[in-house]
């Protein structure tokens, strides 16, 4: 595919060689691999998100316990996973190949990229708040609510991404259930 700088798209080279069947098989393989990698990345992110969500639930069910330090550590772990995940999607994941297969989705991909920028700003704002000694004088529930709202946004964002990847790459390869 054309995301490799300096190289023509694989399909272009194969077309010139007259290997239409090989080209189609290669595209199916590439699409399946993109879908698989994207699913693996979403799974890893979901695990980090679940760990953070469990801590938030613990903070809510035991409001007298001071979980600020644990919340801070879990948030930093989640933040690292989410930043790596978004970089993967933008630089080597599904975004470029998705638009190559379905150019009509370019606007939707741009929206997802804008959401990534929003999430980066939100992650930084929450990190500053968690790092700030002034923020720690406020009830931990304020931070729990802010982090929970961000997690809800991430979950909705991931559902859209998963849907686009599955609809595009499995529908085009005939592997969709």
**Nearest residue to 150 via CA among 124, 168, 171:** 124
Rounded Cα distance between 145 and 141, Å, is 6
- pLDDT value, residue 100: 85
Q: What residues of the chain score a pLDDT lower than 50?
A: 1-7, 10, 14, 23, 26, 133-137, 172-177
The gap from C-alpha 18 to its chain's centroid, in whole angstroms, comes to 37
For the stretch 74-89, what's the b/e string if a residue is b when 16 or more beta carbons lie within 10 angstroms of its beta carbon? bbeebbebbeebbebb
- pLDDT value, residue 13: 52
- pLDDT value, residue 134: 46
CA distances from 74 to 60, 87, 153, 157 (A): 16, 20, 18, 20
- pLDDT value, residue 130: 80
For the stretch 10-52, pLDDT in tens is: 455 545 555 555 545 545 555 677 777 777 877 888 899 999 9
Helix (H, G, I), strand (E, B) or coil at 64: coil
Cα torsion for 121, 123, 127, 128, to the nearest 10°? Answer: 10
> How does DSSP assign 15-51, residue by residue?
HHHT-HHHHHHHHHHHHHHHHHHHHHHHHHHHHHHHH
Q: How far apart are the first and last CA of the chain?
A: 25
User: CB–CB of 155/52 below 8 Å?
Assistant: no
């Amino acid at each position: 595919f054309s995301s490799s700088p300096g190289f023509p798209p694989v399909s272009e080279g194969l077309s010139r060689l007259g290997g239409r069947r090989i080209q189609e098989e290669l595209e199916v393989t590439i699409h399946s691999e993109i879908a698989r990698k994207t699913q693996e990345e979403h799974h890893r992110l979901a695990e980090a998100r679940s760990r953070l969500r469990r801590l938030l639930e613990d903070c809510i069910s035991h409001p007298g316990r001071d979980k600020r330090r644990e919340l801070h550590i879990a948030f930093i772990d989640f933040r690292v996973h989410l930043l790596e995940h978004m970089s993967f999607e933008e630089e080597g994941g599904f975004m470029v190949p998705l638009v190559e297969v379905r150019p009509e989705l370019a606007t939707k991909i741009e929206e997802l990229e804008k959401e990534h920028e929003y999430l980066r700003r939100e992650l930084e704002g929450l990190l500053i708040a968690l790092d700030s000694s002034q923020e720690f004088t406020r009830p931990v529930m304020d931070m729990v609510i802010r982090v929970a709202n961000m997690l809800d946004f991430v979950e909705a964002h991931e559902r859209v991404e998963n849907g686009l990847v599955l609809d595009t790459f499995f529908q085009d390869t005939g592997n969709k259930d």
